[in-house]
């Protein structure tokens, strides 16, 4: 059954896990601010085996669009009927738009979102990316396009970093190297600290911080070598990486600013309205302030 475009007002975020996502709070605040009462944005927890059929079903169920998060971004591009040139080059999509004929169009707003959050030009800078999934692809493409001098990629599974490096014309490395800019594009830290542990907010590194940095093949000394650090992961407090970078005197951002910047671009794609960015930022931060980040069981 095809949907009438006028009744196509549902939005959501597809992920696994997705309970951590601040996108619903952020987008619903923007919709309310603009008086778009018929619209709504919801979490859509979908395991990988059900991703394609669920995304296609959304197109038939009153959905105008969906964000796509971990681990579905590459699958999102693969299932789309059309894609922007940048999403094609990146090899991953975080924004799907559903047409009235049931078609699916893919876009990648992670790349421009990252550059907007960085607040400085990476032209001439060296960069170390951690991870080789959908967001690492967007980061590598964005930095290369913006004129970074060198972009290195490390990943837990080296073959995936090698493939990314070949396709996006950057360099894969067997361990992270010192650089001007470090971007964590892995899911390490996504679940927050184990319940009962102090987490990364203490003045001294905890055993959890050390374990988290170890998963990223980093040491505290190496973290001190980067002047700018972005951790795409965000939670109710700083991640171990952000805390370590700040202790070392680096300028460190968590993923919230990237979330707001990519979300604003997705919002404009779906609704054709200017995104109320301050409202979105405030809603995302307020949600974080509730201290309800996921903890491991
Ligand atoms: P993805 O495609 O599933 O990739 C996940 C990456 O994390 C892979 O490189 C994977 O390595 C690595 N990884 C997972 N567990 C690991 C561990 N225990 N130790 C070391 N590496 C590990 O996910 P994605 O879409 O790129 O997203 C990655 C993260 O960025 C997620 O936490 C997501 O929430 C966050 N993100 C945030 C924003 C934002 O707006 N703030 C935007 C995009 C993404 P293997 O290849 O070895 O499995």
Distance 100 CA to ligand 1 centre (A): 32
Give the range among 29-33, 83-87, 252-256 with minimum mean pLDDT: 252-256
Domain ranges of the chain: 10-108+257-288, 112-254
pLDDT surpasses 50 at 296 = no
> In this structure, are residues 1 and 59 in contact, taking their beta carbons and an 8 Å threshold?
no
Distance CA 154, CA 66 (A): 29
Grade residue 6 by pLDDT with cuts at 50, 70 and 90: low
CA atoms within 13 A on the CB side of 251: 8
pLDDT of residue 237: 82
Distance CA 158, CA 134 (A): 15
CB of 186 within 6 A of ligand 1: the answer is yes
Q: Which CATH number fits domain 10-108+257-288: 3.40.50.2300, 3.40.190.10, 3.40.50.410, 3.40.50.10860?
A: 3.40.50.10860
**Where is 147: in which H helix or E strand?**
none
CB of 239 within 6 A of ligand 1: the answer is no
Fold of 112-254: Rossmann fold (3.40.50)
Beta bridge partners of residue 46, listed in sequence order: none
pLDDT in tens, 38-70: 999 999 999 999 999 999 999 889 999 999 999
Distance CA 47, CA 224 (A): 37
**What atom of ligand 1 comes closest to residue 135's alpha carbon?**
26
Distance CA 183, CA 132 (A): 11
pLDDT of residue 107: 98
Grade residue 287 by pLDDT with cuts at 50, 70 and 90: confident
Instruction: Give, in degrees to the nearest 5, the angle at Cα 129 between 127 and 130.
Output: 150
pLDDT surpasses 80 at 204 = no
**What atom of ligand 1 comes closest to residue 73's alpha carbon?**
25
pLDDT in tens, 79-129: 999 999 999 999 999 999 999 999 999 999 999 999 999 989 999 999 999
What is the best residue among 107, 185, 256 to mutate for testing ligand 1's pocket, by most ligand atoms within 8 Å of CB?
185
Instruction: Give, in degrees to the nearest 5, the angle at Cα 265 between 25 and 13.
Output: 45
pLDDT of residue 295: 26
pLDDT of residue 189: 82
Q: What is the mean pLDDT of residues 137-163?
A: 98
How many other C-beta atoms lie within 10 A of the C-beta of residue 273?
A: 12
**What atom of ligand 1 comes closest to residue 215's alpha carbon?**
19
CB of 215 within 6 A of ligand 1: the answer is yes
pLDDT surpasses 80 at 271 = yes
3-state secondary structure of 253: strand
Q: What is the pTM of this model?
A: 0.90
Sign (positive or negative) of CA dihedral 41, 43, 46, 48: positive
Residue closest by Cα to atom 22 of ligand 1: 186
CB of 234 within 6 A of ligand 1: the answer is yes
One fold for both 10-108+257-288 and 112-254?
Answer: yes
pLDDT of residue 8: 87
């Amino acid at each position: 059954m095809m949907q009438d475009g006028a009744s196509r007002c549902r939005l959501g975020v597809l992920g696994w896990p997705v309970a951590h996502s601040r996108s619903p709070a952020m987008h619903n605040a923007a919709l309310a601010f603009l008086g778009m009462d018929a619209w709504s944005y919801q979490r859509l927890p979908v395991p990988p085996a059900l991703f394609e059929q669920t995304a296609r079903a959304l197109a038939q169920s009153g959905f105008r669009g969906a964000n796509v998060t971990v681990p579905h971004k590459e699958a999102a591009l693969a299932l789309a009927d059309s894609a922007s040139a940048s999403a094609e080059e990146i090899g991953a999509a975080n924004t799907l738009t559903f047409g009235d004929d049931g078609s699916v169009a893919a876009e990648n707003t992670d790349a421009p979102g990252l550059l907007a959050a960085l607040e400085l030009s990476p032209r001439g800078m060296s960069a170390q990316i951690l991870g080789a999934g959908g967001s690492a692809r967007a980061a590598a493409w964005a930095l290369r396009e913006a004129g970074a001098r060198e972009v290195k990629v490390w990943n837990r599974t080296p073959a995936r970093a090698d493939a990314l490096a070949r396709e996006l014309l950057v360099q894969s490395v067997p361990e992270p190297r010192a650089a001007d800019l470090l971007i964590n594009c892995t899911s390490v830290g996504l679940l927050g600290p184990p319940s009962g542990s102090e987490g990364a907010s203490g003045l001294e590194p905890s055993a959890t911080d050390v374990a988290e940095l170890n998963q990223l093949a980093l040491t505290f000394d190496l973290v001190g070598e980067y002047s700018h650090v972005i951790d795409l992961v965000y939670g109710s407090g700083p991640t171990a990486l952000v805390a370590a970078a700040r202790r070392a005197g680096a300028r460190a951002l968590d993923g919230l600013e990237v979330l707001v910047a990519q979300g604003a671009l997705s919002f404009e794609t779906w609704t054709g309205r200017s995104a109320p960015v301050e409202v979105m930022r405030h809603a995302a931060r307020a949600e974080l302030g509730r201290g309800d980040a996921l903890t491991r069981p």
